[in-house]
Chains A and B, each alone.
Chain A
Amino acid sequence: MELLGIEIPVFSWQTVLGSAVSGVFLGAIYALVALGLTLIYGVLHIINFAHGSLLMLAMYMVYFLWQHLGMDPYLAMLVVAPGGFVFGYLLQRGVIGRISHGKDEIILLATLGISIVIENAALFLFSADEKSVQVPYDLDGIDLGVTYVVYPQIAALGGCLMITAALWLFMARTDTGRAIRAVAKERQGARLVGINVEHIFAISFGIGTACVAAAASLLAPTYAVHPQFGYLFVLIAFTVVVLGGMGSFTGALLGGLIIGVTEQLGRLYLGESLGLITISAIFILILLFRPTGLFGQRLSQ
Chain B
Amino acid sequence: MSKRDRALGWTLLLGLLAAVPVFIQSGRWIDFLELTLFVAVMGQGWNILGGYGGQYSFGHALFFGTGAYIQALLQFKLGWSPWVTLWFAIAGAVLVGCAVGYLSFRYGLRGSYFALITLAFAEAFHVLARSLISVTEGGRGVQLPLNQDPGQAVASFQFTFANPFLQSYGFYYTVLFLFVLACAATWLMERSRFGAQLVAVRENEEAAEALGINAFRIKMGSICLSAAITASAGVYYVQKFLFVDPGIAYGPGKSVEALFAPIIGGLGTVLGPLLGSAFIHIVGETSKEAIGHFVGDRPGLDLILFGIMLLLVLGYMPRGLVGLLETAWMRLRADKDGPNA
Contact = CB atoms under 8 A, between A and B. Distances in A.
Whether both chains belong to one complex is answered with: yes
Interface of A: 46-47, 49, 95, 98-101, 104-106, 108-110, 112-114, 116-117, 119-124, 127-128, 227, 231, 235, 238-239, 242, 271, 273-274, 276-277, 280-281, 283-284, 287-289, 291, 301
A235 B303 contact: no
Given A117-B308, A287-B109, A301-B110, A124 B127 contact: no
A95 B311 contact: yes
B135 interface: no
A116 B303 contact: yes
Contacts of A116: 256, 303-304, 306-307, 310
A106 B300 contact: no
A113 B308 CA distance: 7
Interface of B: 54, 56, 58, 103-104, 107-113, 115-117, 119-121, 123-124, 127-128, 130-132, 252, 256, 259, 263, 298-301, 303-304, 306-308, 310-312, 314-316
B127 A280 contact: yes
A128 B300 CA distance: 10
Contacts of A47: 112, 115-116
A127 B296 CA distance: 12
Contact of A284 (B54, B117, B301): B117
A100 B120 CA distance: 25
A288 B110 CA distance: 11
A291 B306 CA distance: 32
Contacts of B263: 109
A109 B300 CA distance: 19
Contacts of B54: 105
Given A113-B308, A284-B120, 17 more contacts: A47-B116, A98-B315, A105-B112, A116-B310, A117-B311, A123-B300, A123-B303, A124-B299, A238-B116, A277-B127, A277-B128, A280-B120, A280-B124, A283-B116, A283-B117, A287-B107, A288-B104
Contact of A108 (B111, B300, B307): B111
A225 B151 CA distance: 51
A108 B112 contact: yes
Nearest to B308: A117
Contacts of A110: 311, 314-315
Nearest to A123: B300
A166 B320 CA distance: 44
Nearest to A45: B112
Contacts of B56: 105, 108-109
Contact of B298 (A124, A238, A242): A124
B130 to A, nearest CB: 6
B131 to A, nearest CB: 4
A109 B308 CA distance: 12
Contacts of A283: 116-117, 120
A234 B176 CA distance: 36
Given A108-B56, A271-B131, A99 B315 contact: yes
A118 to B, nearest CB: 8
B96 to A, nearest CB: 13
Contacts of A274: 127-128, 131-132
Nearest to A104: B111
B300 A277 contact: no
Given A47-B116, A104-B112, A113 B299 contact: no
A227 B131 CA distance: 24
Contact of B304 (A46, A104, A120): A120
A273 B127 contact: yes
B312 to A, nearest CB: 8
B120 A235 contact: yes
A274 B113 CA distance: 25
B310 A113 contact: yes
A121 B127 contact: no
A242 B109 CA distance: 13
Contact of B123 (A122, A280, A287): A280
Contacts of A231: 252
Nearest to A288: B107
Nearest to A283: B120
Question: What 8 pairs between A and B have smallest CB-CB spacing?
Answer: A99-B315, A123-B300, A124-B300, A117-B307, A280-B124, A116-B307, A274-B131, A120-B300
B314 A106 contact: yes
